[in-house]
Structure formats: C-alpha cells, structure tokens
Chains A and B, each alone.
Chain A
C-alpha cells in the first residue's frame, strides 16, 4: 500500500515535472518566469590566491570582469575547512554547531573513539525470516522487522526549505552533504545528490582493475579492487564485482562474468559483458554500459534485478594487459536507491542526457593514488567528468525559468588535490617538469571554469543574480603532522609505546586526549567518553595547555606548523556543539594532519614528508584557505563567508533571514 502511494506520488510529480518542463513544480504561486532568478555555481576548492594571480595575468577574463565591477571577495570558509562541513555551513546559513558536521570523520564517545562517516549513516536492519540460505524482512505486523536504512546526518533546516514553503522553486545539481537527499515538504524543491552519494557497492567509489600481473585472488585496496587475468588463446574470463546481496543470510557480492578478447597486433580488445560488445583500442574509453545485477531471492520469489552503470578503459593490451573499470555507479535512468528529490528528477535528467556519473566523488583520485592511473590518465578521466558536468549544467540552464538554480563542480577540488603545487619547492613525488605541467593543468581547469561562468553570465547575467563561489581554497601539502604521535610523545596518550588509539595497547585510564579526523582533537572527558578520565574542571586547563604547546610546534627547519588551535566551545554555537571535537587544529599552508593520524594511528615521527600523490589540501587553518565569491552585483559586506550565502539568497527572493541563520546578506553593509 505504501509502495503504491509512493508510486502515485512520484508519478504525479513526474507528470507535473514533464508538463511544466521547468523547475516550477506543483503549487507554484506565480507564473514561471515572473519570480526573481538566482543562480549559484559552486566550484569546490577554487583557490583565491591562484584565481587572483590568473585574473591579474588576464587569464580569467570573465571572472576578472566581475571583480572589476565590484563583485569579488574572498569568502570565509568553515572551521575546519573541509568540504562536508563547508557545504553544510552553506546549506544552513550557520556554523557547524547547527548542522552537527565537524569533520569527514566523527567518533562515537559511547564506544570510545569508534569512527564513522559524518555526513550519512547506514543503520543495519533488525530481524528477518530465514528461508534456507536467504532471509527476508517484513516490516509489518506481526513481524515488524526493521530494514537497513541510510540517514542523512546533517541537522538543522536547509535554506531551500524556506524557499519551498514560500512556493519558490529551487533546483540543485550535485549538491554536496545532502545524501540521502532531504525531502521537499511542499514540492518546489528538486535536488540531485552530490558528494557523499555512494556507488553500487555502497562505497564512495571502488574501481576494478584487471591485469595479467594482478593478484590471483581479487585484492581490495583503498578505493579499488585488483584482479589477475589469464589469457588462453587470447581470451580471458573475468568477473565484475557488484553490489552485496543482502537477501542472503551470509551477504556476499553479486558478480557478473565477462570475457576479454585481445588482438595484440591491433593493440585492441573486445569485451563481452551481458549483451554488450565493447571494442577498444589501447587508450580508449567505452561509453557507459548498463549492467544488470541479479540478486537471488528465496525460493518461489522472483530474483531481484538492479541496474548499475560503468565504463571500461583499456590501458594496455600487451605485454601486460591492463583494464580499468569505473566504480559501478547507480544507474540514473533506473536508480536502485534514491539519489534525487523527487525520485523522478534524476530519471528525467537521464532521459535527456543518457547515463552519467552519479557517485559523489567522480574523479577517480584513488586510482591515481594507487598508481592504477598515470597522471595523464587521471587528467583524462577527470576531463570526462568535467565535460559530462558541463552537459548537465547546460541541461540545467535549458530547463531553468526562475527561482534558484544551484550547480556544483568538483573538478577544481579533486584535480587540485592531485595536481596543485604552487611553489618551486620539490614536489613529494613528481619531477619539477611534471609538477609544472600538471599545475598548468589546474590553471586550465580554472580557465574552463571561467569560460563556464562566461556562458552563465551571457545567458542569465542581465536577468539573474549570479553567484560563483567556492567552499575553500587550496594549499600545498608537503609535510604531515601526526597529532596522535605528538600527543603520545608529550604524555597525553599512554603508554609511550602505543601505536594506535584503536589498538588494545592504549591505556585509556591514563590517556587525556586523542585525535581523530583531519582537524579534530578530543579530550578524554569523564562522563562523556566511555573511558573518560579528565575531570570537567581539569578540561579547561588541559585545553589551554594543549593550545599553547601545539602552537609552538616547529618543523626541522624552524617553520611553525600550526597557525592556531580553536576551542569549539568558543567558535561554535548551536545545539550540536556537544558532539564536536574539543579543539580544532589549524595548520599553516604546506602542512596537514598525517594520513595515519586521521584514523588514530601513531607513527614514529611527529612530522614527516607527505609522499602521496595527493599533494595539495585545504584541511588546515581556515584563514589560510578562504574560498572565492564572484557575483554580478556589488559585494558590500566586508568579510563575506559561506554562511552568508543562504541568507543572501533568501533575501533576494524577499524572504527574511531566519533566526536559525547567523549569516548576513552580502549585498548589504
């Protein structure tokens, strides 16, 4: 019955969408086209330092034009300047205390530093009936089983809710920190989820790589899987690993067999998977392919088919055959889980544009970090993403009449993480010529961003308020600081030979503080943490002591590492401050938390070189990496910040700034 009601609701929304052919959804109070227009284009991680240099050099003419007309400012970012936190600030028009997202990673104090992803949480189901090797959940009386559910952990009222209530349509494309997409109460809001949206394996992107020198048994690595191919008569069988079948008592992934045939002389290969035949030369990408995964069900019940999409990329034919397969994305034409609000939003887009990336992280930086991709292959894959997104933006503008249009680009962020390097200092892993070449590539992306802005301004500049923004900037990441090692070496983590806060070795009864995530530092507070020992009256002194000591940390060359350490009880306000870390460590450019420290590992050295290809970052001090704000209006506010964008948008539509927001209108003094 519920399914039928949902179906009718979705059908109705779909019909209204189709009939309107614009973002003016049911119940709109004014004729489409008669309301104000506001367009916000988000370039994740666009750095003001680089943008200003390029504008000065005349390389970003469209953005420079806005700057010269008084429509430019650096944009204050969130503290910490991490994307989920920053975009949640943007969404709520207020700081982390209101939305409860403080880092990519949070900890559960009741389980003593147990980490979990901050933006969304999947809660395991409860109860089921067993049928041989299968299980089935029945969520009605008398069974009342609870199915597995994914929740958005972002709290507070998103600003589009106020637009929705006022009958003002809003359309968001690739909105970060909004998976699963929050529902629209009044039917005037539609949104395609961005960063945080998983792939079909339930991860944030798992590529699959097949090669003759791969491991005999499929090997998992961060962000990917590697397998070996064995050719016989130039044909090799392979398996594509799909989603986990949760209908099995012992859940296991569904796999799809496929065959790879190669012609060494032609330097090409044929891939046969389901009813697809894909012919690729070395260096070619396939189109998106729909792959059906059959989830077996208990006897007498029909098996459940779910659809995913992937692309193949032939890297090498011989002597070592290498084949890359993108993460299996949720099929936008037939999504297996909800990735848009309403559900029909993404299928409508797909009926116009075909198939496209739906995972939150589209540029496969993991493939580069794991050396599955070369630099140029990653740049090529990222360009595919950018071109796809430009197509999506054109679709968005073609179907836009009025209200709010938000569009997000990840290219400026994920490619900067891998290619940004703005000094002559030696790059951790690239030769100087390659470093310069790929930093030039980052500049190319900025030039493309400028061209995109030029198109938007050309189409809507005279009739819409256009805002181009980034959530933070960028800086080199040359040296890494292991906070937990520092805490251990200074006696705050015990014993002195402890190698991880997750290990059994740690003595919580003598540990006073620990770090988890990219910037957060937690006091092992009694009454809050399961094994807390620090009394409330000692906390104050301990925090001040840590702040003083941390700010004095210097590198081997005498450079200061930490610009500031922030007390969240002083910089945050709102109902969720209680869940925040106690301190936020703000690094200078060039430094960041160590890779190992993020999940609590303790290295031998407090400071070490970052040897990863991920050699630029922004999870440092917020004053080091502000974002950018360009607009076709005069920016009058002195120090605009991310939290000001939402109130500004609401005011543009004649709505008051809600009491929950702390931001102010940027177009007012």
Chain B
C-alpha cells in the first residue's frame, strides 16, 4: 500500500501544478458557473476518451441488434416465443454494452478520480471568514518521541488561539480552536519537540483552494487530500487537520458539487454525442 501512496504522491505533484493553474479561474467565477464549465468540458473529454478506447464497431453492432429486437417485440407482440427471444437478446445486448464500456471506464477512472480530488479542493470547503473560529488538530505518531507538553502552535498575526493546546491522550491528538483575524493565507507553525511543522490556513470569503488535511502516508488519504505532501511513516506528526466550514450550495456546495458534476458531464456528453459520432 505504501507503494501506491508513493506513486500517488508523484502523480499528485503533477496534478497539483496543473490543477492550480487550470482551476485558478474558479476563484473569480460564480461557483455554479465554474462547476458547469468544468463538468461540461470533462463530459466531452470523457466522451472522446470513450470513443477512442472502446470498440465502437462492436458497440454499434450491439446497439443495432438491440434496436432490431425492440422492433421485433413491437411487431410481433402477439407471438409469445418471438417476444421472449427478443427480450433475451435485448438483455444480452445490454450486458454486452456494459462489457464493451468496462475498458474505457477502467481507463478513465484514475484521471476522473484525480480530477475530482482537485475539484474537491475548491468546492468541498470554504475559507474561514475573519472572526470565525475553526478547530485545528494534529495527530502524533503512535510511539510518541516528543512529549505531549512539547507540542505548541506558534502565535501569528493572522489568527489567535482561542482554546488550546488540548491534549487528548487516548487519541494521541492535540487540538486548538483558533480565530482568524484577517483574510489571506497564513502559515500555522507547530513545534513538536525540536521539530517544526507547517500547515496552510486559508481565511477569507469566496472560493479558495483548500486542503483541510496534511495526511499520513496512507494511499486513500493521499488520493483525497492531494495538495500537501504526506508525513512519512516515522514522522513525529502523522497528520494536521483544519476543520473548514462546509459550503452550502446545490451546485457547488459540500458533497452536492459532485452530483452536479456527474449530471452536467452526462448531459454534455449526450449533447455532443451526435457531433462527435460516438456510440455509447
């Protein structure tokens, strides 16, 4: 699993560069518009990938067969044997279509997940408004080398510590409640023993690229929190997390943005299908 995590770190280093450039306009556009554009473009691109990675001839034949059998059902509805045979063939055609779709789907799944991970950085959370509180916590390694009492969050002008450090021994975690004072990107500097650790804190309004967690070396965390390099297995700190507020919107809010993405990408793919001559 660590190998997968390391591969993902390499991939993330590329997607982060691309993502931060390509998706930068999200920061200045209405959320619904940016998500619609990205989803529509992604839908068309996925359609093209499907076209070039699937067996279009075979899909065409299967679809023709389904159409013929549907027509047979309509024309010979009084014939039980014809209806049953045609229904079976329609069902077989549907299974075949699924089979022919599996290759392009498998090819697309990785880039789509990487795309969604990059989009999630923009849509899943919103920055902390100045004056609002947020929870920050770090998880220490199982066998803690530095003592709990040596964990601190350095003061900085961009935020103030309202509560903490609060040490939760059973969870090996240290918590702070902070209040942002001014908009912008601030560095949270943690001192654990003699070591320094950093985490970016985003304060303000609107859309910002936000990575709520610097994860441990776990492949799933590396996949879903791509913006920060994960902590190594032997690091004294295993993760740093900031609880950002969730975004409340049907088109570009927490969790709902992903449904909106799939709906718009499907609509875009269906609209462009005749022009790009793709059989799906």
Q: Which residues of A contact B (CB under 8 A)?
A: 233-235, 261, 263, 265-266, 268-270, 277, 279-281, 284
Contact = CB atoms under 8 A, between A and B. Distances in A.
Contacts of B141: none
Interface residues of B, number: 15
B206 interface: no
Interface in B120-140: 135, 137
Interface in B128-179: 135, 137, 163-171, 175-177
A234 B163 contact: no
Most buried by A among B135, B166, B169, B175: B166
Nearest to A261: B168
A279 B170 contact: no
A233 B171 CA distance: 10
B170 A235 contact: yes
11 contacts: A233-B170, A234-B169, A235-B169, A261-B168, A265-B167, A266-B163, A266-B166, A268-B163, A279-B135, A279-B164, A279-B177
Most buried by A among B135, B163, B164, B165: B163
Contacts of B166: 263, 266, 268-270, 279
B163 A279 contact: yes
A266 B177 contact: no
A263 B167 contact: yes
A477 B54 CA distance: 85
Contact of A279 (B169, B171, B175): B175
B179 to A, nearest CB: 12
B163 A277 contact: no
A391 to B, nearest CB: 16
Given A266-B164, A268-B164, A261 B170 contact: yes
Given A277-B135, A279-B164, A284-B163, A270 B175 contact: yes
Contacts of A266: 163-167
Contacts of A281: 163
Given A277-B243, A279-B135, A263 B168 contact: yes
Contacts of B163: 266, 268, 279-281, 284
B170 A234 contact: yes
Contact of B168 (A265, A270, A280): A270
Contacts of B170: 233-235, 261
Given A234-B168, A279-B176, 17 more contacts: A233-B169, A234-B170, A235-B170, A235-B171, A261-B169, A261-B170, A263-B165, A266-B164, A266-B165, A268-B164, A269-B166, A270-B175, A277-B135, A277-B243, A279-B163, A279-B175, A281-B163
Contacts of A265: 167
A76 B276 CA distance: 81
B169 to A, nearest CB: 6
Top 10 nearest A-B pairs (CB, nearest first) are: A261-B168, A235-B170, A268-B166, A263-B166, A266-B166, A281-B163, A279-B177, A263-B167, A233-B170, A279-B175
A296 to B, nearest CB: 25
Main secondary structure of the interface of B (DSSP, over half): strand
Interface of B: 135, 137, 163-171, 175-177, 243
A11 to B, nearest CB: 15
Contacts of B165: 263, 266
A281 B168 CA distance: 14
Contacts of A284: 163
A334 B176 CA distance: 31
Main secondary structure of the interface of A (DSSP, over half): strand
B250 to A, nearest CB: 13
Nearest to A280: B163
Contacts, number: 44
Contacts of B175: 270, 277, 279
A280 B177 CA distance: 9
A468 to B, nearest CB: 33
Nearest to B176: A279
A279 B161 CA distance: 12
A307 to B, nearest CB: 15
B149 to A, nearest CB: 8
Nearest to A278: B135
B262 to A, nearest CB: 23
A326 B137 CA distance: 26
Nearest to B174: A263
Contacts of B164: 266, 268, 279
A262 to B, nearest CB: 8
Contacts of B177: 279
A497 B252 CA distance: 73
A268 B173 CA distance: 14
B157 to A, nearest CB: 22
Contacts of A268: 163-164, 166
B125 to A, nearest CB: 14
Contacts of A277: 135, 137, 175, 243
Nearest to B163: A281
A272 to B, nearest CB: 9
A265 B163 CA distance: 12
Contacts of A280: 163
B91 to A, nearest CB: 27
A281 B171 CA distance: 18
Most buried by A among B168, B169, B175: B168
A365 B183 CA distance: 41
B87 to A, nearest CB: 29
A266 B175 CA distance: 11
A277 B243 CA distance: 9
A264 to B, nearest CB: 10
B167 A235 contact: no
A277 B170 CA distance: 15
A280 B135 CA distance: 11
Contacts of B168: 234-235, 261, 263, 270
Contacts of A233: 169-170
Nearest to A351: B248
Contacts of A270: 166, 168, 175
Contacts of B243: 277
A266 B167 CA distance: 8
Nearest to B248: A351
Nearest to A287: B133
Nearest to B175: A279
A268 B171 CA distance: 15
A280 B163 CA distance: 7
A269 B171 CA distance: 13
B257 to A, nearest CB: 18
B171 to A, nearest CB: 7
A265 to B, nearest CB: 7
Nearest to B170: A235
A232 to B, nearest CB: 8
B93 to A, nearest CB: 33
Contacts of A263: 165-168
Most buried by B among A268, A279, A284: A279
A233 B169 CA distance: 7
A194 B78 CA distance: 66
Most buried by A among B135, B167, B169, B176: B167
Nearest to B241: A277
A263 B151 CA distance: 14
Most buried by B among A234, A263, A265: A263
A269 to B, nearest CB: 7
A614 B119 CA distance: 57
A308 B65 CA distance: 55
Contacts of B176: 279
Nearest to B167: A263
A281 B137 CA distance: 15
Contacts of A235: 168-171
Contacts of A269: 166
A266 B135 CA distance: 16
